[in-house]
Amino acid sequence: MYEKDGEQYFIVDAHIAFWDARPENRNRLGEGFIKCFYDYHRNLGPAEYLWPFEEKFVRYTEEDLMHDMFEVGYVDHAIFQPVYLGDFYKNGFHTPEMVAPIAERHPGLFTVNGTFDPRFGKKDLAHLESLHEQYGIKGVKLYTAEWKGDSRGWKLDSPEAARCLEKCQELGITNIHVHKGPTVWPLDRDAFDVADVDGAATNFPELNFIVEHVGLPRLEDFCWIATQEPNVYAGLAVANAFIHTRPRYFAQIIGELLYWLNEDRILFSSDYAIWQPKWLVEQFVGFQIPEDMQSELGVLTTDVKKKILGLNAAALYDLDVPAELDLVRDDAGSAAVGSEPLSPA
Amino acid sequence: MITVENVLDALAGVRDPEIDEPLTDLGFVDRVSVDGKSVDVHLRLPTFFCAPNFAYLMVADAMKAVQALPEVDDVTVTLDDHFASDEINGATATGGGFDEAFPGESVGELGELRDLFTRKAFTARQSRVCDAQLRAGRTVEELAAARLGALKGDPNLTRCIELRTQLGIDASPDSPAFVLADGSALDAAGLARFVRVARLVRLSLEGNAGLCRSLLATRYGIPDPEEAVR
């Protein structure tokens, strides 16, 4: 919980990791991958939160995690979003198996998400079932651009993916986080392409599709889809971090998301351990759209901030929000201003 | 005699297909050396995992641009510090395509992707021109009726015209000043919508350019340019 100027905020960090990128667990590609993370960390974060690379960034401790999230980071609940990356990291980069013991040691503080890859076929459905059985997963994180053997990725609207999504629906795994964002992955053609989310979201109206990194740098395509599909959400991982070095750019992103989606479909994330929730929460609560941009982009109200920082994710994951931290909601919801169908570019 | 300046001038004509800015402005040209009629160019990118397709296009385009210089016999263009450096350098050195760099790909060449991003670049560029006109007090109705030849004094116009020509869209002075990315006409209502949507395209493109510049600066320890997004 974060408190400022008499207002209290319930904080859900919707995208965190506890990774192992030590030299003994990584190959050349794994080294390139974690170094790429480190450049994001160095470039966009405040200097006082900078970690040394080999000594800490490649592998931090459970104590670091608990401290950064809950002791100083104001976080009430955090969601582990796995990244297996088996071709880069011998034992995986950040898997549910690695973090489940941590979640068990700290009941109520973490959600462990799973994943699937339709290219594994039936084996993957069994894996999904076992993840659900063991960890009670309510969500998955997907990487449609992942290379596997000769394959250069897969599409969320393919029949193979549909089988996995059906299984999710059957098991009550309702939150489908899809990585569509800045390059950290070998990719083909245009792996940022968010078009496949459109078909999947139409075919599975009961599932929620959270597009991580809001499809950056394909924001226009993401907004176009999200405008038409009410079950598509914006995950702010990475985008959130622009608030520090690029506040005007961040203002534009947030302003456009509020215009094309609405305040109920945007989720805060630190993308820990690339960045830390403490400064992100403080800066976000203190943030306002610059005055000269307000006529175009509007302003961020306290209620909007409360929703983005935690209440929206709490609703998706059925988290208990203490009554004093919740908002009195009307059921009407708020329509996006830009929801008139219109194809960008 | 070929000079480093000649080579840099040639490379200034090569753009990142996604960001629509010259490689030389983006800092992607690490170094150039000239030995008689041989030219050696080293390129670098903001991250180890920058999209190999775009990386390939830039290396291939750089190769072509330098080869086109008079008196040049022998050109090598090397992409450094990239996960697919070997594949890309190997394929472009032998004049091979993206398929040769990544055998087993079924996607074929990258013309379609390049076309898509040229159209996005055109949308973003036109959005800058249009917003500047609106800020100067002209109305959407006036701009929807305006002719290309009547617009003056905006540095983005030159690039707009270049991109129109490249895309096969009429760029004569009598053609409409503002059109959709596929060349089709816009009435006032259409232009009003275009203004709103094109801003998103521009935001993606400019944000991406800014991020690329500063990640490159971080990666190679060069000064970080200031935030450029308006």
- pLDDT for A172-226, tens place per residue? 999 999 988 655 444 554 566 788 999 999 999 999 999 998 878 789 989 999 9
Asked whether the beta carbons of residue A152 and residue B203 sit closer than 8 angstroms, the reply is: no
Asked whether the beta carbons of residue A246 and residue B203 sit closer than 8 angstroms, the reply is: no
Report whether pLDDT(A344) > 50: no
Please give the pLDDT value at position B228.
Answer: 43
Contact by Cβ (8 Å): B52, B99: no
Question: What number of residues does chain A have?
Answer: 345
What is the count of structural domains for chain B?
A: 2
Report whether pLDDT(A113) > 80: yes
Residue of A42, A190, A246 with shortest CB distance to B218: A42
Residue B113's closest CA among B16, B185, B214, B12?
B16
- In b/e form, how buried is each residue of B59-94, taking b as 16+ CB within 10 angstroms? bbbbbbbbeeeeebeebebbbebbbbbebbbebbee
Within-domain flag for B155: yes
* Confidence band for A334, pLDDT divided at 50, 70 and 90: low
Within-domain flag for B130: yes
What share of chain A in percent tops pLDDT 70? 91
The verdict on B131 and B52 lying in the same domain is no
Domain ranges of chain A: 1-112+238-317, 129-235
In 3-state terms, what secondary structure has residue B48? coil
| Whether CATH 3.40.50.620 fits A129-235 | no
Q: Look up residue A15 and give its two tokens.
A: 């995208």
Query: What residue type is assigned to position B50 of the chain?
Result: C
Please give the pLDDT value at position B97.
Answer: 72
The verdict on B11 and B92 lying in the same domain is yes
The verdict on B164 and B200 lying in the same domain is yes
Within-domain flag for B89: yes
The verdict on B96 and B123 lying in the same domain is no
Please give the pLDDT value at position A296.
Answer: 86
Cβ neighbors of B177 (< 8 A, separation 6 or more) are B143, B146, B147, B148, B150, B151
Instruction: Tell me the nearest-neighbour CA distance from B48 into chain A, angstroms.
Output: 6
Q: Look up residue A98 and give its two tokens.
A: 């690695």
Judging by beta carbons within 10 Å of its beta carbon (0-12, 13-18, 19+), is residue A106 exposed, middle or buried?
Answer: middle
CA distance A286 to B126: 35
Cβ neighbors of B62 (< 8 A, separation 6 or more) are B11, B14, B23, B41, B43, B77
Instruction: Tell me the nearest-neighbour CA distance from A138 into chain B, angstroms.
Output: 31
Domain end point (choices B36, B71, B101): B101
- Digit-coded pLDDT (tens) for B88-129: 898 888 777 776 777 654 345 677 888 888 999 999 999 999
The verdict on B70 and B140 lying in the same domain is no
Asked whether the beta carbons of residue A248 and residue B229 sit closer than 8 angstroms, the reply is: yes
Residue A151: closest C-alpha in chain B: B105
Residues of B with CB below 8 A from A338's CB?
A: 196
First to last CA, chain A: 41
Instruction: Tell me the nearest-neighbour CA distance from A214 into chain B, angstroms.
Output: 11
- Digit-coded pLDDT (tens) for B154-190: 889 999 999 999 999 999 999 999 999 999 999 999 9
**Domain interval for residue B149:** 111-220
| Optimal mutation site among B191, B203, B204, interface A, most CBs of chain A within 10 A | B204
Within-domain flag for B19: yes
Asked whether the beta carbons of residue B107 and residue A344 sit closer than 8 angstroms, the reply is: no
Judging by beta carbons within 10 Å of its beta carbon (0-12, 13-18, 19+), is residue B189 exposed, middle or buried?
Answer: exposed
Residues of B with CB below 8 A from A40's CB?
A: 215
Residue B40's closest CA among B89, B82, B74?
B74
Contact by Cβ (8 Å): A228, A272: no
User: Which ipTM value was assigned to this complex?
Assistant: 0.84
* Confidence band for A340, pLDDT divided at 50, 70 and 90: very low
Kindly report which listed range (A280-284, A340-344, B49-53) carries the lowest average pLDDT score: A340-344
The verdict on B77 and B131 lying in the same domain is no
Mean pLDDT of chain B: 90
Question: What's the number of CA atoms in the CB half-sphere (13 Å) around residue A7?
Answer: 16
Instruction: Tell me the nearest-neighbour CA distance from A322 into chain B, angstroms.
Output: 37
Residue B107: closest C-alpha in chain A: A189
Strands A77-80 and A12-16, how do they pair?
parallel
Residue A176's closest CA among A144, A135, A150?
A144
Asked whether the beta carbons of residue B47 and residue A189 sit closer than 8 angstroms, the reply is: no
Report whether pLDDT(A88) > 50: yes
Q: Which of A68-77, A82-91, B102-111 has the highest mean pLDDT?
A: A68-77
Mean pLDDT of chain A: 90
Asked whether the beta carbons of residue A253 and residue B207 sit closer than 8 angstroms, the reply is: yes
Residue of B113, B197, B227 with shortest CB distance to A220: B197
Residues of B with CB below 8 A from A189's CB?
A: 53, 107, 110, 113
Residue of B49, B102, B200 with shortest CB distance to A183: B49
Within-domain flag for B69: yes
The verdict on B66 and B153 lying in the same domain is no
User: A214 in the Ramachandran plot: left (φ > 0), alpha (ψ -120 to 50) or beta?
Assistant: left
The verdict on B207 and B122 lying in the same domain is yes
Cβ neighbors of B123 (< 8 A, separation 6 or more) are A345, B181, B198, B201, B202
Whether residue A273 has a cis bond before it, omega within 30° of 0:
yes
CA A85, A86, A88, A94 torsion-angle sign: positive
Residues of A with CB below 8 A from B127's CB?
A: none
Contact by Cβ (8 Å): A19, A41: no
Residue B197: closest C-alpha in chain A: A344
Instruction: Give mean pLDDT, residues A79-103.
Output: 94
Please give the pLDDT value at position B108.
Answer: 54
CA distance B159 to B167: 12
Residue B110: closest C-alpha in chain A: A189
Domain end point (choices B36, B68, B101): B101
Using alpha carbons only, how large is chain B's radius of gyration in Å? Answer: 19
Asked whether the beta carbons of residue B210 and residue A249 sit closer than 8 angstroms, the reply is: yes
The verdict on B183 and B142 lying in the same domain is yes
* Confidence band for A336, pLDDT divided at 50, 70 and 90: low
Residue A153: closest C-alpha in chain B: B105
Asked whether the beta carbons of residue A216 and residue B83 sit closer than 8 angstroms, the reply is: no
Residue of B47, B53, B200 with shortest CB distance to A223: B200
Within-domain flag for B97: yes
Within-domain flag for B226: no
Judging by beta carbons within 10 Å of its beta carbon (0-12, 13-18, 19+), is residue A123 exposed, middle or buried?
Answer: exposed
Work out the angle between the directed axes of helices B85-93 and B52-67 (0-180°, nearest 10). Answer: 30
- Higher local confidence (pLDDT), B75 or A195: B75
Within-domain flag for B225: no
Phi, psi of A173 (to 5 degrees): -90, 95
* Confidence band for B225, pLDDT divided at 50, 70 and 90: low
The verdict on B72 and B160 lying in the same domain is no
Instruction: Tell me the nearest-neighbour CA distance from A185 into chain B, angstroms.
Output: 6
What share of chain B in percent tops pLDDT 70? 93
- Digit-coded pLDDT (tens) for B5-54: 999 999 999 999 989 999 999 999 999 999 999 999 999 999 988 888 88
Phi, psi of A229 (to 5 degrees): -110, 110
Please give the pLDDT value at position B116.
Answer: 87
Please give the pLDDT value at position A337.
Answer: 56
Domain end point (choices B101, B132, B158): B101
Report whether pLDDT(A341) > 80: no
CATH number at residue B10: 3.30.300.130
Asked whether the beta carbons of residue B181 and residue A190 sit closer than 8 angstroms, the reply is: no
The verdict on B16 and B57 lying in the same domain is yes
Please give the pLDDT value at position B93.
Answer: 80
Please give the pLDDT value at position A330.
Answer: 60
- Digit-coded pLDDT (tens) for A118-145: 988 888 899 999 999 999 999 999 988 7
Report whether pLDDT(A271) > 80: yes
The verdict on B18 and B58 lying in the same domain is yes
Residue A343: closest C-alpha in chain B: B197
Whether residue A205 has a cis bond before it, omega within 30° of 0:
no
